[in-house]
Amino acid sequence: MATLFDFASAGISALTPYKPGRPIDEVKRQYGLSEVIKLASNESPLGPSPAVIAAINAAASGCHRYPDGNAYYLKQALAQKHGCSVAQITVGNGTNELLSMLARLFLKPGVSAVYSAHAFIVYKLSVMMAGAEAIEVPAVDFGHDLAAIAAAISPSTRMVFLANPNNPTGTLFSEAQFTEFMALVPENVLVVLDEAYFDYVDPAVRFDGIDYVERYANLVVTRTFSKVYALGGLRIGYAISSQALADLLNRGREPFNVNAIAQVAATAALSDEAHIAQSVALNASGMRQLLDGFKALDLAVISSYANFITVDVGEGAAVAEKLLQQGVIVRAIGEYQLPHYIRISIGLASENQRLLSALQQVL
């Protein structure tokens, strides 16, 4: 007789779970350290703005009430920010939830999804969870090869995942490359454009995927509050798409998928533009500081447009472990087929300095 576990979804049984950056407290306990810094999860080193903290405090006494399942105020603010209608927005318990919802909506055994080598690993996990085939396309210069991705689309393909910039490589593709790509994608294949790091990209070189949602009915753009908005711990992200796709997503989601505190925090975060500008400026100076430091250490990097830098240290896992012993958490990225590299999130100037000193010792 078949066992209980023989009936479990083959896709889920076969997958390797997501490996998050180590929590600071866990590293302190394990290594008996009192001063640990984390540059491993691309979190904003400034933290949320005072306006966000005030909004969270004010909302705390109301948390016996269920959240607004429609996220009314947040969607109003997002519609205004992006010049879209409220009916085009889906909010999620992090972008992660939206990515797996999209995969569940379009994928099943027998169909496929396409993404780039070294792309954000949640794409692969979402495809596997749905039991579909993953088609991984070789990268060029560590970035997405959009022409090859378009060419890899087969009659069984239902979705393509793109990250711009990509994590963990920080690579960016241009508006011209994107529109050439979209012209090659069949209208019945969904393109998921993940813009988690949009705000960090120099406005001179970036384009806003949301501007293209009107033109392409098969495009959905995702954004997160986990990075520049500094709300990773609250789990909130959103997708903007055609109204028809948003309607499907909103039918399929859990009724209260985004909690009440996250909704008020995100709404407050959108309104504090000065804090966002400060975070972006801090990131730009931290990027220069780290690039100078890596140059001095003679380390090669992958040019990044985001809030992290991926650096060739020879043996990523071993170096990351030695940095842990020094109280510096970074990310080895062997599971991204980049075993020589570590990914370092840009921190405060003092944290960046500490990382550079620790790295010099370890190497």
Ligand X SMILES: *Cc1c(COP(=O)(O)O)cnc(C)c1O
**Does 94 contact ligand X by CB under 6 A?**
yes
Near ligand X in 177-196, by CB under 6 A: 194, 196
Which of the ranges 46-54, 213-221, 225-233, 329-337 carries the binding residues for ligand X, by CB under 6 A? Answer: 225-233
| Nearest residue to the partner ligand X, using Cβ | 94
CA dihedral of residues 281, 284, 288, 290 (deg, nearest 10): 100
Choice between 44 and 352, CB closer to ligand X: 44
Integer Cα distance of 154 and 113 in angstroms: 9
Integer Cα distance of 123 and 11 in angstroms: 13
Least distance (Å) between residue 7 CB and ligand X: 29
**Does 263 contact ligand X by CB under 6 A?**
no
Q: Are 226 and 245 in contact (CB under 8 A)?
A: no
- Among 198, 225, 201, which Cα is nearest to 52's? 225
Which of the ranges 60-68, 220-228, 262-270, 329-337 carries the binding residues for ligand X, by CB under 6 A? Answer: 220-228
Choice between 33 and 121, CB closer to ligand X: 121
Of positions 69, 232, 334, 339, contacts ligand X by CB under 6 A: 232
Helix ranges (H only) for the chain are 10-14, 24-31, 50-60, 72-82, 95-106, 121-129, 146-152, 175-184, 243-252, 260-271, 273-296, 316-325, 349-362
Near ligand X in 52-91, by CB under 6 A: none
**Does 304 contact ligand X by CB under 6 A?**
no
Of positions 96, 157, 283, 326, contacts ligand X by CB under 6 A: 96
Q: Which strands make up the sheet holding 157-163, listed edge to edge? A: 89-92, 237-240, 219-224, 190-194, 157-163, 112-116, 133-137
Q: Which strands make up the sheet holding 338-345, listed edge to edge? A: 301-302, 308-312, 338-345, 331-333
Choice between 67 and 237, CB closer to ligand X: 237
**Does 341 contact ligand X by CB under 6 A?**
no
Integer Cα distance of 299 and 208 in angstroms: 32
Q: Give Rg (Cα) of the chain.
A: 21
Near ligand X in 116-135, by CB under 6 A: 120
Of positions 224, 307, 345, 352, contacts ligand X by CB under 6 A: 224
Of positions 44, 88, 95, 279, contacts ligand X by CB under 6 A: 95
Choice between 42 and 352, CB closer to ligand X: 42
Number of residues lying near ligand X (CB under 6 A): 14
Which of the ranges 6-14, 94-102, 251-259, 324-332 carries the binding residues for ligand X, by CB under 6 A? Answer: 94-102
Near ligand X in 320-339, by CB under 6 A: none
**Does 42 contact ligand X by CB under 6 A?**
yes
Residues ≥6 apart with Cβ < 8 Å to 158: 106, 107, 111, 112, 113, 132, 189, 190
Choice between 216 and 225, CB closer to ligand X: 225
CA distances to 150, 229, 338 from 274, in Å = 39, 11, 36
In the chain, what is the straight-line distance between the N-terminal and C-terminal CA atoms, in Å?
56
Least distance (Å) between residue 223 CB and ligand X: 8
Residues that bind ligand X in the complex, under the rule CB under 6 A: 42, 94-96, 120, 163, 167, 194, 196, 224, 226-227, 232, 237
